[in-house]
Structure 1
Amino acid sequence: MPFAPSSFLFQMCLLARRPRVSAMKFLALLILHLGVLISASKLRTQSNVGIVVVGDPSFQRRFDAQIRSLRCYANRHGYEMHLLTASEYAECKRFKDFFFRKHCTVSKFLETQAPSFTAAVFDGDVVVAAPMRGLDKWINHGADIQLYNRCLFHEIMAGNYMVRNTPFARDFLMRWAKYYDQRPSGFSSADNGAIQLVVMETIQVEGYNTCYSMYRNLTDKVTNLNSYWDYVHCTKEAIGPARAWTLPKGRLTMWPRLEFYVADGVFLNRWASSEIGPIMHHGVKDPQDVVSFYYKDLDQCEINETSVLRSAKELGETALHLAQSYPEYFPAGRGCKQCAETCMESFSCEPLQDSEEPRPRQVVDFRASSFTIVDSAESRRHSWGWSRWSTV
């Protein structure tokens, strides 16, 4: 039964008027009732958050252990848990590629939810590594769409993201799905290649026509990825460093590497912390890793603390060492907001604000806009942000 604040106040007034209730007892009861009120309020808030995994029945069987860890997490924090098969909505069935159909499914699913609903969408190969920490930092960030840069790859990550139930977010997901109709003949990494262009057209930066032409002309197979990475380099040049974009119809945030609630765990030695850093690990394909390394007792939702959990200091040092080892993915030094030595050890590399420099140029007729790619060994090496980034 919902806890009503008005009922609480009425009961306290009656209690205060009773002659045999001492001041200490009244205070103790007041604290107890306030605790119930706060807990109930928090539970009502978190019920507007859902963990969403999309996969057909065979997919769900294959990643059952990983999904169970997400269910444990949802139960622990009062989040809803939704398993979708990508066959729920007729409008999405025309997308024969599962990955494009997934985003259509999430868009249609959001239409069935309350306006305040927030969905944390996951790939099936994600396991919860730090279950004691909730998603509050990202829920409270408030952007309609939250994405992140992949660790040790130049792409924006496609499989895991957070979306609020707004027209802006639903439209973004549906436009993403519709890139199914524009796939090139060669390797384009399915939805992971398309997301780069969806972000470009959403934030309306110059260079869309240049990058789109490269995308449509991808003809090489997966055995030769040079042209694909050239295309990704183009989109990185256009989008620039990770940023919290404020747009006329909504907000889109791109998080820097290792600053989202999920990251590729292998690059952190499969470690997590109860204090800082990513909460979930992506790329855990083998269910045995879930039940033998990550969890002591998955049935009881009991994490294997000895294997997985490390202090904030140890995890931070690991992240900083990783960043320093791969300057092509992490800007070095202390001269910028997202420089590794400034923020990586504390996992505090925040997205740039909308107006912060270096900022790409937005154009009204973005689809027709072209630009010249800074095509040098240095710019290709540093697709982590922008070859025009200025650092010390």
Structure 2
Amino acid sequence: ALKLQTPEWTSNMSQPYYIYPKPRNDTSIDVHIVVVVVQGTPMKNYATARQSVECYGALHNYTLAVFYDDRYKECSDHRDIFFKRHCNVHLYMKEKMRENSWLLFIDGDVGVVNPRVLIEEYIKPGYEIYLFDRFWNWEIAALSYLVKNNERGRGWVNGFATFEFQLPKSHHGTDNGALHPYMMFYLVPETRNATTRSRMSSLCLSIWNRSTSWDDVFAMEACCRTGYGWSRDLWTLHSHWTDDDFMMHAVKEKDLKPYPEDESERQRCHVSALAG
């Protein structure tokens, strides 16, 4: 049984509850859970999270691999510890996993709280790469991904790992920030080339190249995900927009700054509204 301690601020007031999960019946889907830890990091730092994942993997017959990031010498060229993890994941997929099996990569501090949920519940026909959003901002999480071990899946992980060598000399946000330009390049190949990318994609990369803070990184992430939607949040780019934009959300009178009015333009808008 898995014992969970609820936070003190809940109505249960520190009363534990228990979950009694059953092993999965269908083990035909081969899943590897992989955790890559920076060399020298004491494993005890993640003891609770790791033990929960170990129990979960043993219960459902998932393969669990936890290892340091110096496992593969081919990854020694990486200087960013986060991208070095993805390099190790790619080589693990090539060396240890069967073709068409599945990889779930997770950070070392990710733990299981509900072992009744199966990893394959997130797998849908026709899809081979799974990412998820962090709920508090526009960010696609780099802390975990679910990928099929085939040419496309391995190529995606390897491409993400080697994207380290395209990082700008700015506050780039390491793999958390880089995942967004990488996905933009991956999904819209013409954005890779300065001569074929749109003005919006150029703007996103410009924000990244000039970034000096996490606020800039978050603005870049929102920009990369704007795509061709008809509306976006005005505040994400500090009230700036381009000819590619159409509508803006969060235009509130209390947030607007005074600006000299052009009475002729205002009258023209009024007449246009009446005519409609």
In the alignment, is the contact (CA less than 8 A) between 2:170 and 2:208 conserved in 1?
no
Give 1:210 deviation, angstroms: 3.4
Q: Which residue is equivalent to 1:75? A: 58
1:352-377 CA distance string (max 9 Å, x none):
xxxxxxxxxxxxxxxxxxx8553976
**Which amino acid in the other structure matches residue 192 of structure 1?**
N
**Which amino acid in the other structure matches residue 53 of structure 1?**
V
Give 1:170 deviation, angstroms: 1.4
Work out which of the residue numbers 106, 117, 121 in structure 2 matches 1:137. 121
Give 1:60 deviation, angstroms: 2.7
Give 1:228 deviation, angstroms: 2.1
Distance 2:108 2:72 in 1: 20
Which structure has more RCO (C-alpha within 8 Å, separation ≥ 6)?
Answer: 1
1:307-363 CA distance string (max 9 Å, x none):
xxxxxxxxxxxxxxxxxxxxx8xxxxxxxxxxxxxxxxxxxxxxxxxxxxxxxxxxx
Give 1:235 deviation, angstroms: 0.3
Distance 1:237 1:40 in 2: 40
Is the aligned partner of 1:52 residue 2:42? no
Is the aligned partner of 1:124 residue 2:117? no
Distance 2:250 2:227 in 1: 12
Give 1:143 deviation, angstroms: 2.1
Work out which of the residue numbers 249, 258, 265 in structure 2 matches 1:378. 249
Distance 1:81 1:126 in 2: 13
**Which amino acid in the other structure matches residue 227 of structure 1?**
D
| TM-score, scaled relative to structure 1 | 0.48
What secondary structure sits across from 1:42 in the alignment?
coil
**Which amino acid in the other structure matches residue 138 of structure 1?**
Y
Is the aligned partner of 1:237 residue 2:237? no
Is the aligned partner of 1:215 residue 2:215? no
Give 1:59 deviation, angstroms: 5.0
TM alignment of 1:298-313, pairs within 5 A: none
Cα distance, 1:114–1:71 mapped onto 2, change above 3 Å: same
TM alignment of 1:203-282, pairs within 5 A: 203-204=187-188, 207=198, 208-218=201-211, 220=212, 222=213, 225-238=214-227
Q: Which residue is equivalent to 1:169? A: 153
Give 1:226 deviation, angstroms: 3.4
Cα distance, 1:124–1:142 mapped onto 2, change above 3 Å: farther
1:135-155 CA distance string (max 9 Å, x none):
222234452210011111111
Is the aligned partner of 1:90 residue 2:73? yes
Distance 1:130 1:40 in 2: 14
Is the aligned partner of 1:181 residue 2:174? no
Q: Which residue is equivalent to 1:198? A: 182
| TM-score, scaled relative to structure 2 | 0.67
Give 1:41 deviation, angstroms: 8.1
Cα distance, 1:235–1:138 mapped onto 2, change above 3 Å: same
Distance 1:144 1:178 in 2: 20
Tell me how many residue pairs correspond in the alignment: 209
RMSD: 2.9
Distance 2:49 2:24 in 1: 29
Q: Which residue is equivalent to 2:238? A: none
Q: Which runs of 5+ in 1 are unaligned?
A: 1-38, 242-327, 329-370, 382-392
Distance 1:235 1:170 in 2: 23
- Give % identity: 23
Distance 2:120 2:219 in 1: 37
Cα distance, 1:177–1:68 mapped onto 2, change above 3 Å: same
Q: Which residue is equivalent to 2:5? A: none
TM alignment of 1:28-43, pairs within 5 A: 42-43=26-27
Cα distance, 1:106–1:373 mapped onto 2, change above 3 Å: farther
In the alignment, is the contact (CA less than 8 A) between 2:34 and 2:65 conserved in 1?
yes
Cα distance, 1:107–1:380 mapped onto 2, change above 3 Å: farther
